[in-house]
Structure 1
Amino acid sequence: MSIRRIAAFALAATSLLASAQEPRPDTFAWRATLDTAGHQGLMRVPLPAEALARLQSRDAGDLRVFDAQGQPVPFALATPPRPAAAPPQQTAAIRALPLHAAPAGSRAPKGTLQLRARQNGDRQSVWVQFGDAAAQQPPGTTPLPAALFDTRQLAADVGGFIVRAQLPPNVPVQFTLSKSADLAEWTPVPARGRIFRFDGEGAPANDRLELSAPLRLKDRYLRLDWSGQEGVRVESVVGLLASAAPARELPALVLPAPAPDGASAVEWPLGFATPVSMLELGTPRANTLVPVRVLGRGQPPEPWRPLAQAVVYRLGPAGQESTNPAIALPAVSAGTLRVEATHGVRLEGVPLTLRVLFQPVDVVFAAGTAGPYRLVAGSAGVRASALPLGMLAATTATAVEALPAARIASVDVAAAPATGGPGWLPRGVDGKTAGLWLVLLLGVALLGGVAWSLLRQSGREAG
């Protein structure tokens, strides 16, 4: 082979590799047309969960904005994945005041206060002792599965409670909350969650009750009631102060049914590299409780990494069922999630549902007259091209969160994901990229063969 032909071959291979680094809109798996409503200048568009679930790079590197002619448009990520928010501020511990049923017609003994409360649907007299909790209880009284808390001096709104209590092991205890200004009329306080502590090191546990809305307890009393479990003794509660600003809703995606792996495990192949912040793991089957651990890994050769321990449950009568809260994760990127039952429980016959939640990502881009613009996501092997946010933000006096928002007008999803490739390829390498590298390797091998042939020919001539 002549040197000229070899050079032509190498130039062609280099051109192919260079063209692969300049992706076109149709090489992305998810493509959306943006409606800018005629705005010019910087705009922002929240990235939907469907686009986040197509990304093949942890840092959203395979995301682009193109104009109507297919030319790339400068953009930046306004809200890249960030560490978890700081834990909420807490109040001082508020001591529990045990409640006791008062005999009919009796008067409250010295040092106690009589109040009215409903127990098992019946309104009855209840005694509470505000003084020394260790003092002897009045004779003839019966301890109730309830406790009173003097929260009249609590000025700040609370969004939940930490319940410090002695619990029976391996039993989720349901608490109901109510508030009152006069210890006579009580208003229910909607709360979510059950308190439990399973046996074993690293076993699932929960000591928090989440409120549906911020609660003001200034000049009010709080009461906790529980039923159905022996051995519960509440010692105190700690209020979790409500956030001043409501949390932004996280993009969420419901995954299809998992693949079973034996009687005690199921797996969800994710197919994306976007970090997952939370999991809403649940079951539609009534009166179900399964302690589980969640694991993840990138590719099948990699070992499973433990991510979280939790209890999946749906308990209570129809229409009044309580379910487990979402599971927080350390912004993990995994190719597959695995859920295993623990404590000898089986998953066989227990349907599980999974909803993944991502941290919000806003795409800030420069809009002009070259629309309509297209936002695309999901193409393996594409290099990141997002600009630093400060570079775009410095061009305007408007805060990023106040920029006009573009609307996603239509979405086009590739029939076969652009990220797909033969099963034997490593994660993040598609068939086209592998083919180009194969061409280069063949070129190197060809050059080596030609050099070896020339050396042998030179040796024969010298001999």
Structure 2
Amino acid sequence: MKPLLIAVLLCFVVGAPAYGRSLPEDFAYGLPLTPSGATPFAEVELPLAVYHTLTRADLGDLRVFNSAGEEVPHLLRGPEAVVTETPGAARAVPFFPLRAADDADEALAVRVAEAPGDWRVEIQTRSQAEPTTKVPVSGYLLDLGGLDFSVAQVELDWEDGGDFFGEVEVATSDQLKDWRPLTRVVLARLDYQGRRLEHRRIDLPTAPGRYLRLRWSGSAPLLEPARVVASARPSHATLPEIRQWLPVTATPLAETPGLSRVDLGGRLPVAALRVTFAEANNLARLRLSSGANPEGPGRHRAEALVYRLRFGERELVSAELPLTASRDRYWFLRSDDGLAGARLEFGWRPDRLCFLVRGTGPFLLAYGNANLNSPPTAGAELLHSAEIAGAGVPAPERLVPGDVVTLGGPERLLPRRSSPSWRTLTLWGVLGLGVVLVGVLAWRLQRQLREAPTDSSSSE
């Protein structure tokens, strides 16, 4: 009876690991990884090909194996940690119109007198050919002396007048002489087809002196009696720089005029959209939504005015449109004005895969399995508890993956509808044999119990 019991136990011992273990050939493709072994952890950014191949919404059909084919613990980490931005201080500052003849450098005479709680400004043309009030405004002088922070940007709030588009030269000085150039920007306020486009902010590359001089190439917009606001630099950094841009094609949906669909080909962590018109003087209102269903309509994500406008030799182009974090594969763009000929690019930040360098290399990142049921190797929590970025623990080694290798091939990406694999059949065979052996064991035990009284009576 003892040999029979041992055989039953062996059936379950042999069959147990056959279910949960993954092998490299279970996945469609792989990327070789070669860490130096100098640190216990290594890290690699997921390439675009991985996103286009993964079948699970949670990016769960990937594993890391060492050279012996053993699965090692891994952890998917999002793009660089997002740091919350704290807006800088902002305050209105005094400003004064500069009136000049054709040559502002030679015609301007400026005198600013400061007293507690009072400002006095005298601005004249040296020629005194006519009163300064009759000379067009060519720029503005800003006094930043009353601020207790370093200025990073200036925003102009002008009166609601006619359209304006102009280039402004920004210079700074501490004593109203020896002006140092800082930057040149385009400011605009345009009304077109019931829409308004405004660009009023000036970002300063370096901290300015006490005075800022804004000098326009043409006529300046009327600021009085509006205001000028100076702001400090934010105290925290914004999101990390977008590392990759993916050109996409929008397919119009015949059943819904004005609506187009974009298929990213995978669940990319997108963060921005860039629209570039092929020709100048284009303007369109764009609304975006996204979702997992290719039929839509998806969840609303953003709405913005995109444009490319030309004024002489200068152009004004809309900035990149930031998007809330999303891994939706399908994006829907609605624009009644049309986006024909526009170039669309989604900006995204790759996820980072961190794994434990256990065993010998080279290692293999295997990915793509539509029928994967087993969870990753237990122990990924070790990567959390080790505090990879903490003091005393070296940062993970950054790796560059090798060329893609074919493992199980593209058939691994198809849901299994054929006959079970040999491992599944083996498992069920072992389990079935175990059931049969248990039945035989029970039958023999029952038989022995029946024969036991007969043997005792005969001995008497």
> How high is the TM-score relative to the length of structure 2?
0.65
- Mapping of 1:199-278 within 5 angstroms? 209=201, 211=203, 214-223=205-214, 225=216, 235-241=227-233, 248-261=240-253, 264-278=258-272
**Aligned partner of residue 253 in structure 1, secondary structure:** strand
| 1:383-441 superposed Cα distances (whole Å, 9 cap, x missing partner) | 663823423437996446x3322232333489986796xxxxxxxxx5227998xx9xx
| Number of the residue aligned with 1:298 | 292
Q: Is the 8 A contact 1:55 1:377 kept in 2?
A: yes
User: In 1, Cα distance between the equivalents of 2:416 and 2:166?
Assistant: 55
| Number of the residue aligned with 1:338 | 332
| Number of the residue aligned with 1:89 | 87
User: In 2, Cα distance between the equivalents of 1:198 and 1:282?
Assistant: 19
Equivalent residue in structure 1 for 2:273, among 266, 271, 279: 279
Equivalent residue in structure 2 for 1:364, among 354, 362, 371: 354
Mark the CA change 1:356 to 1:134 in structure 2 (over 3 Å): closer, same or farther: same
Q: Is the 8 A contact 1:99 1:127 kept in 2?
A: no
Q: Is the 8 A contact 2:309 2:315 kept in 1?
A: yes
The alpha carbon displacement at 1:135 in A equals 12
Mark the CA change 1:153 to 1:97 in structure 2 (over 3 Å): closer, same or farther: closer
User: In 2, Cα distance between the equivalents of 1:256 and 1:395?
Assistant: 36
Equivalent residue in structure 2 for 1:125, among 108, 131, 143: 108
Gaps of 5+ in 1: 1-14, 105-115, 421-429, 440-463
User: In 2, Cα distance between the equivalents of 1:235 and 1:435?
Assistant: 75
Mark the CA change 1:356 to 1:186 in structure 2 (over 3 Å): closer, same or farther: same
Percent of matched pairs sharing the same residue:
19
Equivalent residue in structure 1 for 2:344, among 349, 353, 366: 353
The alpha carbon displacement at 1:327 in A equals 1.4
Q: Which amino acid aligns with 2:43?
A: R
Mark the CA change 1:346 to 1:76 in structure 2 (over 3 Å): closer, same or farther: closer
> How high is the TM-score relative to the length of structure 1?
0.65
User: In 2, Cα distance between the equivalents of 1:395 and 1:188?
Assistant: 38
**Aligned partner of residue 140 in structure 1, secondary structure:** helix
User: In 1, Cα distance between the equivalents of 2:143 and 2:177?
Assistant: 11
| 1:217-237 superposed Cα distances (whole Å, 9 cap, x missing partner) | 243425274868977776222
Gaps of 5+ in 2: 1-14, 125-130, 425-460
**Aligned partner of residue 271 in structure 2, secondary structure:** strand
| 1:287-319 superposed Cα distances (whole Å, 9 cap, x missing partner) | 433231222222134433221112222334798
**Aligned partner of residue 410 in structure 1, secondary structure:** coil
| 1:231-257 superposed Cα distances (whole Å, 9 cap, x missing partner) | 777622242515666863333232233
- Mapping of 1:156-195 within 5 angstroms? 160-166=153-159, 176-181=168-173, 182=176, 185-189=179-183
CA RMSD of aligned residues (A): 4.8
Q: Which amino acid aligns with 1:45?
A: V
Q: Which amino acid aligns with 1:363?
A: L
Q: Which amino acid aligns with 1:254?
A: L
Mark the CA change 1:353 to 1:207 in structure 2 (over 3 Å): closer, same or farther: same
The alpha carbon displacement at 1:260 in A equals 3.2
Q: Is the 8 A contact 2:74 2:354 kept in 1?
A: yes
Larger C-alpha radius of gyration, 1 or 2?
Answer: 2
Q: Which amino acid aligns with 1:148?
A: L
The alpha carbon displacement at 1:163 in A equals 4.5
Q: Which amino acid aligns with 2:60?
A: G
User: In 2, Cα distance between the equivalents of 1:161 and 1:50?
Assistant: 43
